[in-house]
Amino acid sequence: MSEQWQPTYGQKDFKINKKETLYDGFFKMLKLHLSHKTFAGEMINIQRELFYRDDAVCVLLYDPQKQAVVLVEQFRVGTFDQDEGPWLLELVAGIVEDGETPDDVARRESIEEAGAELGEIVHITRFVPSSGGTREYIDLLCAQVNSEGVEGIHGLPHEGEDIRVHTLEAAEAFELVKSGTINNAPAIIALQWLQLNQKDLDKRWLEV
């Protein structure tokens, strides 16, 4: 067996020679002029346009008592051309604000988007959803929740949010991933993680 993979190069092996701001609003668009070392040991110069997004947190709300998950449905402009329409079934999520930890964001957004108070939070992973052209890091979490009475329409109107809460049996959510109905990366990753770790979570949270 081979040794555990490590990146060939690191921070010292590339350089940003010039940075241009193409757009600066809620999101940012940059143009970067870069030099980086190649696998042959030489240097290459490239230009890349970069969609810059702040760090985000996505949290899967899991009720071990009911073997259920709480998901949210909302309009997503990034899927405006999807045949089924641009309403997706997703995790509770939000942008990290100054001074916040991922757990802080999860608790704040769970109240805003689902009216749900969280119990213990478990960290799943930190990942990049589209590293070829987007700067964004997502902390993916799973949190214990009592789904009783967690329902209705939520969100902050002044932010253009219109969110409907759904509580589904975990097994049903797994099937929606399998069928491709749930097709956004954070929800897919979190639900597949839950499918692998559900027994351990149940043991941890049901015996408390």
The enclosing domain of 86 has a CATH number of 3.90.79.10
The answer to whether 125 touches 140, Cβ cutoff 8 Å, is yes
Predicted model pTM? 0.92
What is the token pair recorded at 180? 């491709």
Residue 6 lies in a domain: no
**Per-residue pLDDT at 160:** 75
User: Count of domains in the chain?
Assistant: 2
Highest mean pLDDT among 24-28, 129-133, 137-141: 137-141
> Are 67 and 106 within one domain?
yes
> Are 74 and 48 within one domain?
no
Range of the domain at 16: 11-52
**Is the confidence at residue 86, as pLDDT, over 90?**
yes
Residue 1 lies in a domain: no
> Are 162 and 66 within one domain?
yes
Calculate ∠ Cα 28-19-126, nearest 5°.
55
User: Among residues 128, 1, 119, 8, which one has the least CA distance to residue 63?
Assistant: 119
- Catalytic residue, chosen from 3, 42, 159, 207, is 159
> What is the average pLDDT across 50-77?
96
Is 97 considered catalytic here?
Answer: no
What is the token pair recorded at 130? 């589209």
Provide the residue count of the chain: 208
